[in-house]
Amino acid sequence: MNNSINKAVSSAPAKVILFGEHFVVYDNPAIVAAINKRIHVYAQTNNKLRINIKSGKNSICILTRGNVDLVSIRDKDMSFLHPIFKCVSHVLSEKNKSNIGIDLDIDSQIPYGEGLGSSAASCVATVAALYSLFSDNNRNQVYETSKLMEQNIHKNSSGVDCYVCTFGGIMNYEPDKGFSNIRPKKKFTLLIGTTGVKHSTGEVVSQVKEFREKNSSQFKDLSLKAKAIYKTAVNSMLEGNELELGRMFTENQKLLYKLGVSHPKIEKMIDVCLNSGALGAKLTGAGRGGAIIALLPHDKSTEVLAKISKSPGKWMLVEFDYDGVIVG
Ligand code: MEV
């Protein structure tokens, strides 16, 4: 056994879905963007044949043969440590390194289960750190493996979350053409509000699957409308038309409401944003809780934010992230 300890560090950004969540699972386009909140993963090899994963006060320790050795999960919502374990064991076996152990320390600014891509970002950052331990820094491979690993969390994953967490930027996803960068003509001011209601993306995606099976013609109609909104949104970004872009947020939200993925807290927070001068607002990600995004008028963002911030919910202005996953 090699006794030397290798170390690596990586980080990946959170994401928002600007347009097209849920519809993207069924071959429809979407616009996704990375934002300036990150998860950091510090990895090092150990000679104890154990995978130790630590995140704040929570930790799991698993023998590399796969038996759970010791689990110490203090917060009930720390189930995200299990998919991270799967990422580690997958890379170890892919690289024929099942004879070593790994210590991982996770430090995240991304709230878990709130629609901001904590699962995707944790898979991307973990896989990138592990590959880096074995001198492999191929971003495409990081994306492919993370996408596969995210399917352990929800099996119908479209892969858009992992893509944007790996490559960063604002991405236009078209099923027949793949991903391309969108470079908006003007800076847009994006506000995120989190409801505090945690959701399971896998469960919400399954509920939408059921909705689609029971209401196929309604789903087709909603998908066509979502596609039209997406097209207008791409143009309004390219033309720097924030009024139209904001309107598209709100139009997209109406479709998500009909799909059954909204939540009373989401509706309330959206109303607050619209009544305070936001140009548009919608849920982002899977819905049924999680987060909303609102487009603020760029030249009046301070006063609109001041009004919105007085109401319940956690609010944060975010910037787009153009780095994607960073190793080292
Ligand atoms: C979750 O962030 C986005 C969904 O469209 C699922 C997916 O694309 O895999 C709800």
Could you tell me if the CB of 17 is within 6 A of ligand 1? yes
DSSP for 291-320, please give it.
EEEEEEPGGGHHHHHHHHTTSSSEEEEE-B
Element (H, E) at 150: helix 139-150
Give percent of the chain with pLDDT exceeding 70. Answer: 94
Q: Which of 6, 5, 325, 288 is nearest to 168 (CA)?
A: 325
Q: Are residues 308 and 160 in the same domain?
A: no
For ligand 1, what atom is nearest to the CA of residue 23? 5
Task: Tell whether the model's pLDDT for residue 1 goes beyond 50.
Answer: no
3-state SS track over 99-141: CCEEEEEEEECCCCCCCCCHHHHHHHHHHHHHHHHCCCCCHHH
Q: Are residues 193 and 178 in the same domain?
A: no
Could you tell me if the CB of 24 is within 6 A of ligand 1? yes
CATH of the domain at 269: 3.30.70.890
Q: Are residues 71 and 216 in the same domain?
A: no
Q: Are residues 146 and 208 in the same domain?
A: no
For ligand 1, what atom is nearest to the CA of residue 115? 2
Residue 253 included in any domain: yes
Question: Could you tell me the distance, in angstroms and rounded to a whole number, from the CA of residue 259 to the centre of ligand 1?
Answer: 14
- Which residue, of 152, 182, 212, is where some domain finishes? 182
Mean pLDDT of 262-283: 98
Mean pLDDT of 256-282: 98
Could you tell me if the CB of 248 is within 6 A of ligand 1? no
Please state, in angstroms and rounded to a whole number, the distance separating the CA atoms of residues 224 and 128.
37
252 secondary structure, DSSP code = H
Residue 326 included in any domain: no
Q: Are residues 17 and 107 in the same domain?
A: yes
- Which residue, of 128, 163, 182, is where some domain finishes? 182
Please state, in angstroms and rounded to a whole number, the distance separating the CA atoms of residues 232 and 253.
15
Task: Tell whether the model's pLDDT for residue 77 goes beyond 80.
Answer: no
- Which residue, of 157, 182, 207, is where some domain finishes? 182
Q: Are residues 138 and 50 in the same domain?
A: yes
- Any residues with CB less than 8 A from the CB of 21 and at least 6 apart, and which? 30, 256, 283, 284, 285, 286, 287
How many residues are listed for the chain in this entry? 328
Please state, in angstroms and rounded to a whole number, the distance separating the CA atoms of residues 256 and 285.
10
Please state, in angstroms and rounded to a whole number, the distance separating the CA atoms of residues 286 and 10.
26
Q: Are residues 175 and 52 in the same domain?
A: yes
Could you tell me if the CB of 291 is within 6 A of ligand 1? no
Residue 2 included in any domain: no
Question: Could you tell me the distance, in angstroms and rounded to a whole number, from the CA of residue 208 to the centre of ligand 1?
Answer: 11
Question: Average model confidence (pLDDT) for the chain?
Answer: 92
Higher pLDDT, 153 or 250: 250
Higher pLDDT, 51 or 247: 247
Task: Tell whether the model's pLDDT for residue 76 goes beyond 60.
Answer: no
- Annotated active-site positions, please? 161
Residue 187's pLDDT band (cuts 50, 70, 90):
very high
Q: How many domains does the chain have?
A: 2
Q: Scan for tokens 């704040």, then name that residue.
A: 56
Please state, in angstroms and rounded to a whole number, the distance separating the CA atoms of residues 261 and 283.
9
Mean pLDDT of 88-105: 91
Q: Scan for tokens 């309107």, then name that residue.
A: 247
Could you tell me if the CB of 160 is within 6 A of ligand 1? yes
Question: Could you tell me the distance, in angstroms and rounded to a whole number, from the CA of residue 52 to the centre of ligand 1?
Answer: 29
Could you tell me if the CB of 150 is within 6 A of ligand 1? no
Could you tell me if the CB of 259 is within 6 A of ligand 1? no
Q: Are 41 and 104 in contact (CB under 8 A)?
A: yes
Q: Are 139 and 324 in contact (CB under 8 A)?
A: yes
Residue 1 included in any domain: no
Residue 69's pLDDT band (cuts 50, 70, 90):
very low
Q: Are residues 38 and 121 in the same domain?
A: yes
CATH of the domain at 170: 3.30.230.10
- Could you report the per-residue pLDDT of 137-177, keeping only the tens digit for each? 899 999 999 999 999 888 889 999 999 999 999 999 999 99
User: Which of 16, 17, 18, 198 for mutating ligand 1's site (highest number of atoms within 8 Å of CB)?
Assistant: 17
Mean pLDDT of 288-308: 97
Q: Are residues 170 and 197 in the same domain?
A: no
Taking each helix axis as running N to C, give the angle between helix 139-150 and helix 160-167, from 0 to 180 degrees, rounded to the nearest 10.
150
For residue 66, what pLDDT is reported? Answer: 52
Residue 8's pLDDT band (cuts 50, 70, 90):
very high
For residue 65, what pLDDT is reported? Answer: 63
Task: Tell whether the model's pLDDT for residue 50 goes beyond 70.
Answer: yes
Mean pLDDT of 319-323: 97
Q: Which of 102, 57, 105, 62 is nearest to 78 (CA)?
A: 57
95 secondary structure, DSSP code = T
Could you tell me if the CB of 158 is within 6 A of ligand 1? yes
Residue 210 included in any domain: yes
Q: Which of 5, 16, 204, 239 is nearest to 100 (CA)?
A: 5
Please state, in angstroms and rounded to a whole number, the distance separating the CA atoms of residues 30 and 18.
8
Mean pLDDT of 203-220: 97
Domain residues for the domain of 156 are 7-182
- Could you report the per-residue pLDDT of 234-249, keeping only the tens digit for each? 999 999 999 999 999 9
Question: Could you tell me the distance, in angstroms and rounded to a whole number, from the CA of residue 232 to the centre of ligand 1?
Answer: 21
- Could you report the per-residue pLDDT of 259-271, keeping only the tens digit for each? 999 999 999 999 9
Q: CA-CA distances (angstroms) from residue 112 to 3, 31, 56, 165, 284? A: 35, 22, 13, 15, 14
For residue 241, what pLDDT is reported? Answer: 98
Residue 324 included in any domain: no
Here the tokens at position 275 are: 């009544």
Q: Whose CA is nearest to atom 1 of ligand 1?
A: 285
Q: Are residues 218 and 82 in the same domain?
A: no
Residue 327 included in any domain: no
Task: Tell whether the model's pLDDT for residue 299 goes beyond 50.
Answer: yes
Q: Are residues 214 and 304 in the same domain?
A: yes
Q: Are residues 70 and 24 in the same domain?
A: yes
Please state, in angstroms and rounded to a whole number, the distance separating the CA atoms of residues 114 and 102.
28
User: Which of 160, 230, 288 for mutating ligand 1's site (highest number of atoms within 8 Å of CB)?
Assistant: 160
Could you tell me if the CB of 191 is within 6 A of ligand 1? no
Residue 263 included in any domain: yes
Residue 5's pLDDT band (cuts 50, 70, 90):
confident
Could you tell me if the CB of 205 is within 6 A of ligand 1? yes
Question: Could you tell me the distance, in angstroms and rounded to a whole number, from the CA of residue 33 to the centre of ligand 1?
Answer: 13
User: Which of 118, 151, 155, 158 for mutating ligand 1's site (highest number of atoms within 8 Å of CB)?
Assistant: 158
Question: Could you tell me the distance, in angstroms and rounded to a whole number, from the CA of residue 22 to the centre of ligand 1?
Answer: 5
Element (H, E) at 242: helix 242-259
Look up the pTM and report it: 0.94
Task: Tell whether the model's pLDDT for residue 85 goes beyond 80.
Answer: yes
Q: Is 159 helix (H, G, I), strand (E, B) or coil?
A: coil
